[in-house]
């Protein structure tokens, strides 16, 4: 049984999708053993507590810089004996020491079809604002392995979602979450736990 550690910073609807998938038996070979938040008081922590999942808070503000925060994060992830680390709306930048400690063992869900609308500054609602500004007719979500390049690691799963003329960033975010993120994140976690993802020549292959 793989130990899954989920990193959060906010409302935690993607964490909820993972909890629901675990409870309905869709994640057969893994278990969420810890939820770590970069901020105290976020609703994601309540979601974990409601399902008796241990939580920890590693507050970004308690650390001087990204390097010292990253070092503390590696230590906590090692203490938790994480087999898989999932960024589920985790909005804090970590340096390469973290992904080097867990190569191809950290995944992130991003609310766009990478390589569109990704990289520095593209997070949360900003991603959907940019998609509407450009006038794309399809957007979606991507689950990818985390590397030192922001949103640049091997792509595991993607799902497209239509954009409607009447969309606001908020309505588009909701549709992308419901129709893409909450589906492909649990799917990718289940595939990982079943040892069905390999990385070859920088590309993720799902079997
Ligand atoms: C989600 O849409 C997630 O894809 C996005 O933030 C939201 C968090 O919601 N993540 C990023 O933009 C990361 N670059 P949640 O806390 O309800 O899961």
CA distance linking residue 124 with residue 41, whole number of Å: 19
Cα dihedral across residues 8, 119, 99, 158: positive or negative? positive
CA distances from 74 to 15, 27, 61, 96, 205 (A): 21, 25, 17, 11, 26
pLDDT reported for residue 170: 98
* Residue of the CA atom closest to atom 17 of ligand 1: 13
Encode pLDDT of 13-62 as tens digits. 999 999 999 999 999 999 999 999 999 999 999 999 999 999 999 999 99
Encode pLDDT of 60-74 as tens digits. 999 999 999 999 999
Q: How far away, in angstroms, is 76 Cα from ligand 1 center? A: 22
Q: What are phi and psi of 52, to 5 degrees?
A: 55, 35
pLDDT reported for residue 129: 98
Q: How far away, in angstroms, is 202 Cα from ligand 1 center? A: 24
Q: Is 169 close to ligand 1, i.e. is its CB under 6 Å away?
A: no
At residue 164, the 3 state secondary structure works out as coil
Q: Are strands 155-162 and 138-145 parallel, antiparallel or unpaired?
A: antiparallel
First to last CA, the chain: 19
Q: Locate the ligand 1 atom nearest the alpha carbon of residue 13 and give its number.
A: 17
Catalytic residues: 110
pTM of the model: 0.96
User: Which domains are present in the chain?
Assistant: 2-206 (3.40.50.170)
Q: Is 88 close to ligand 1, i.e. is its CB under 6 Å away?
A: yes
pLDDT reported for residue 93: 87
Encode pLDDT of 107-147 as tens digits. 999 999 999 999 999 999 999 999 999 999 999 999 999 99
């Amino acid at each position: 049984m793989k130990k899954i550690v989920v990193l959060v910073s906010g409302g935690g609807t993607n964490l909820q999708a993972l909890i629901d998938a675990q409870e309905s038996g869709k994640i057969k070979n893994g278990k969420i053993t810890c939820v770590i938040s970069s901020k105290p008081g976020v609703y994601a922590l309540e979601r974990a507590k409601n399902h008796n999942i241990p939580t920890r808070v590693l507050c970004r503000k308690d650390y001087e810089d990204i390097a010292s925060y990253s070092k503390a994060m590696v230590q906590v992830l090692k203490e938790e004996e994480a087999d898989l680390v999932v960024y589920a709306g985790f909005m804090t930048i970590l340096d390469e020491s973290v992904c080097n400690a867990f190569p191809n063992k950290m995944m992130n869900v991003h609310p766009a079809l990478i390589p569109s609308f990704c990289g520095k500054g593209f997070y949360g609602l900003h991603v959907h604002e940019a998609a509407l500004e450009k006038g794309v007719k399809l957007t979606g979500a991507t689950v990818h392995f985390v590397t030192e390049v922001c949103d640049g690691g091997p792509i595991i799963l993607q799902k497209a979602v239509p954009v409607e003329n009447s969309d606001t960033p908020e309505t588009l975010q909701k549709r992308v979450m419901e129709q893409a993120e909450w589906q492909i994140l649990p799917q990718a976690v289940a595939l990982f736990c079943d040892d069905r993802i390999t990385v070859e020549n920088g590309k993720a292959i799902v079997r």
